[in-house]
Structure 1
Amino acid sequence: MKPLYVNNNGVLIPIDSYALKAGNRGHLYGDGCFESIRVIHGRPINLVNHYKRITATTKVLQMHIPVTFTLDFFEKEIQLLLEQNKITEGGKVRFSIDRKPGGTYLPRTNEIDYFIEAYPLSLNAFELNENGLRLDLYDEIKKPINILANYKTKNSLIYILAKLYAKAHQLDDILLQNDKLAIIEATAANIFLVSNGVLYTPALDSGCLGGTMRMQIINLAILKKMKVYECVITPQNLLAADELFLTNAIEGIKWVNNFRTKTYHKDTVIKIQQHLKDKWT
């Protein structure tokens, strides 16, 4: 089913008729941020954490969020679009925020525009991929550790080039390193490894994205009495691990079968996947 509408600053516009306004700073300068939100049973999930991250991101970007932009407002605007697009089961939402037009590198204002898209998905629950992913290491560009590293801004060129590299080398995804050569994430996912039943994931101060699903998996693991450590991850750690998986807000968990010549099991991944599915079913 094709979506019918998008939400542009609170106005529902037919999806086929919308055109980007001249001067849009997200288009011109990447001056914006976004959230990708999973929909299950026609409802957006984990909104509290998405809302916290988008308000934290706009604060870092020195954008001014109006006092009316509350969690309740955030949810109602998304839900309105889901209903208008007749998404009653699985779906995904992209909530974008851009600084309002005006200025060049020095903005004329710090006020915001927002734009919401909603699309149906065939799956109405988190499902584990049947075929494990094949990964390798992307070493052509390193992701710098700075104040922007943990946030979903519209500066995404490193991820695009890494994904193109993965496709050219017949890989399902590729792992990024920071400028200290630690492994931090995949192109659109956080990374976890399992060794002797213990979970390890890169720490936020390594420059990885502060993923909302990453947070969920850490909290679920702790709730189920699993040990979780945030630490520096190296290629040697991956080659010594028992299991490896990726996480993001839309797909949940995706298990990895191969990193270079290493093959992984998925016993712990299956258990964590079931805990995640139980939470949102």
Structure 2
Amino acid sequence: MLYVNNNETIIPAEEFSIHSGSRAFLYGDGVFESIRIRNGIPINLENHIKRMLEGAKAIKIRVPSYFTTEFFDIRIRELCKKSGITLGGFCRLSLDRMNGGKYKPETNDAQFFIEVKPVDHNDFILNTKGLEVDIFTDLKKQKNMLANFKLKNCLLSIMASIKAQERQLDDLLISNDTGGILESSSSNLFVVSNGVLYTPGLEEGCLAGTMRMQIINLAIRNNIRVYESNILPQNLLVADEIFLTNAISGITWVSGYRTKRYFNNTAKRLTHLLNEYWDEDLNNRLI
């Protein structure tokens, strides 16, 4: 049985009901993080909490000082243990404005909600079959002060996912008002050309992904050059590889964009390095 933690009340997941006046439900008034579980432990949690708290501050949710990495680490581990998740898993941590009010809130105080689910693999596994992608043209992502955070209002990603399904593609890439390609419906974007990694800069409006940051750091440590730069459709057509990153899947390689085909050598190498990094992290915790 899986359990959730609704602002310090732990109940079975199937028994959860939304309280009347929930601002998260009514208005998408909050931020969230998707956190990978390995060996029953949330990984990269400090960076997730940092981004979540910065996002809450940006939308003027007042967060208590005790909402720290340690605070949420204890509660996520407790929930994993109670839900029987001892290896791979997924955690969604939400931070919402407390109930009450309409567009004008009655309070800016915060409440949290944690849910966990098992995933099939403990390690990050590179997809066997590459994704087929194209560019989403119906809507653009705005470059503004909220663009780098994971907000509860995800309609842009939902519409891109539906459009991809209608076109019988695996995903669509989202761009900004100036034509720069930012990300997919659920992941950050990396392009590989001549052994060099390119990824959109945060100033372009892409999500400040925790896995994006880790891949950049891993690449630099292993003498792979990385540049944050504007990526245009023509850059995709001359690339050797394209891969996507997010906290849950790790790295997902793209095999095709329109008529262009891609390799996955760099994606394979970085997936190996990613698992090595977290295995070493676990060993250090056990010493």
TM bracket, shorter-chain basis: over 0.9
**How far 1:255 sits from its partner (Å)?**
0.4
Q: Deviations over 1:133-184 (max 9, x none)?
A: 0000100000110111000001100100100000011111110010111100
CA contact (8 A) 2:23 2:96 kept: yes
Q: For 1:92-241, what aligned pairs fall within 5 Å after superposition?
A: 92-241=90-239
SS of 1:233's equivalent in the other structure is coil
Helix, strand or coil: the match of 2:272? helix
- Kindly tell me the number of residue pairs found equivalent between the two proteins: 279
- Secondary structure in 2 matching 1:280: helix
2-side partners of 1:160 and 1:241: how far apart? 27
Contact 2:191/2:242, CA 8 A, preserved across alignment: yes
Counterpart among 65, 68, 71 of residue 66 in structure 2 = 68
AA paired with 2:4? V
The structural deviation recorded for 1:77 is: 1.1
Asked whether 1:251 is paired with 2:249, we answer yes
Q: Does 1:273 align with 2:255?
A: no
Q: Deviations over 1:173-215 (max 9, x none)?
A: 1100101111000000000010000000000011100000000
Aligned counterparts of 2:40 and 2:188: Cα–Cα separation in 1: 25
| SS class of match (1:16) | helix
What's the Cα RMSD here?
0.7
Q: Give yes or no for contact 2:2–2:116 (8 Å, CA) kept in 1.
A: no
Deviation at 1:97, TM superposition (A): 1.1
Cα distance in 2, alignment partners of residues 203 and 68 from structure 1: 32
Q: Report the Cα offset of residue 93 of structure 1.
A: 0.2
One-letter amino acid of the counterpart of residue 171, structure 1:
L
Measure how far apart 1:4 and its partner are: 2.5
Give the whole-Å Cα distance in 1 for the aligned partners of 2:2 and 2:134.
39
Contact 2:34 2:91 (8 Å CA) reproduced: yes
The residue type paired with residue 110 of structure 1 is N
User: Structure 1, residues 55-114: CA drift from partner, whole Å, max 9, x if none?
Assistant: 111110111111111111011111111111010011000001110011111111110111
**Corresponding residue SS for 1:150:** coil
Using the TM superposition, give the Cα deviation of residue 28 of structure 1 relative to its aligned residue in structure 2, in angstroms. Answer: 0.7
Tell me the distance in 2 between the aligned counterparts of 1:66 and 1:99: 12
Alpha-carbon distance in structure 1 between the residues aligned to 2:72 and 2:249? 22
**Aligned residues with identical type, % of pairs:** 50
Q: Return the match for 2:31 from 30, 33, 36.
A: 33
The worse-fitting range, judged by mean Cα deviation, of 270-279 and 125-134 is 270-279
Name the CA distance, whole Å, in 2 between partners of 1:15 and 1:227. Answer: 44
> Unaligned regions of 5+ residues in structure 2, if any?
280-287
For 1:185 and 1:70, how far apart are their aligned partners in 2? 29
Matched residues in 2 for 1:275 and 1:42: separation? Answer: 20
The alignment's TM-score, normalised by the length of structure 2, stands at 0.96
The question of whether the paired residues in 1 share the 8 Å contact of 2:5 and 2:114 is answered with: yes
* Unaligned 5+ runs, structure 1: none
Match of 2:87 among 81, 86, 89: 89
* AA partner of residue 57 (structure 1): G
SS at match of 2:267: helix
| Matching residue of 1:54 | 52
Amino acid at match of 2:131: L
Residue 31 of structure 2 aligns to which amino acid in structure 1? C
In structure 1, the residue corresponding to 2:14 is in which secondary structure?
A: coil
